Amino acid sequence: MLENIKVYASDTVWNHILTDLGVNVVDSKNIADVVFDDIKIKAPISVTELQSLILSQFENKDIIRAVFGRDVVLPKLQHKIIVILYKNPNITMHELKDLIGVLPNVATHAVENAVYQLRKIYGCDIIQNIDGKYKIGRI
C-alpha cells in the first residue's frame, strides 16, 4: 500500500516502524514524498491510522500546494476541510460535516473551530462563506 511512497523520518525508531510497515524510507527530505517529521502524531496510534495519515499526506499534497502555493502540514481536521472544500466548492456547513464524517446527532463545534483556526492563521479569505456556502478563497 505504501511501498511506492518515499517517506523521510529523522527518528530512527520511526524509521524501523515505517520500514516494518513496508514504507519506502529515504534518508533525505529532498527526495521524500512525505516528511514524516511534519505529521503531528498523537500516540497511541494504530497501524491503520498511521497508514491513513501517510497516504492522506501523499495523495492530497498537490491540493494543499495548489491552495497554499507551497507545502503546508496541517492538523488532520484542517487538512480534511481544505481537501473537501477544494474538491467540493460551495457546500453548506452541514454538507461539510457530513463529508468529514461528523455524525448528525453529535453536538460539536470542532469543524467550525478548525475553520476559524485556518482563517486566523492564513487569513480570513482562505475559506469564504457566501450565502451559507463554503469554498476555498485566496491567501
How much of the chain, in percent, has pLDDT values that exceed 90? Answer: 54
The reported pLDDT for the residue numbered 106 is: 74
**Rounded Cα gap, residues 116 and 8, in angstroms:** 31
pTM over 0.85: no
**Rounded Cα gap, residues 77 and 97, in angstroms:** 11
Q: What is the mean pLDDT of the chain?
A: 89
Neighbours of 89 (CB within 10 A): 12
Residue 8 contacts residue 28 (beta carbons within 8 Å): yes
The reported pLDDT for the residue numbered 16 is: 93
Owning domain of residue 78: 71-136
Note whether 37 and 76 are same-domain residues: no
Q: What is the pLDDT of residues 87-108, one digit of tens each?
A: 999 999 999 999 998 887 777 8
Q: End of a domain among 19, 35, 59?
A: 59
Residue 104 contacts residue 111 (beta carbons within 8 Å): no
Q: End of a domain among 59, 82, 103?
A: 59
Residue 2 contacts residue 21 (beta carbons within 8 Å): yes
Number of domains in the chain: 2
What would you measure as the largest C-alpha separation in the chain, in angstroms?
50
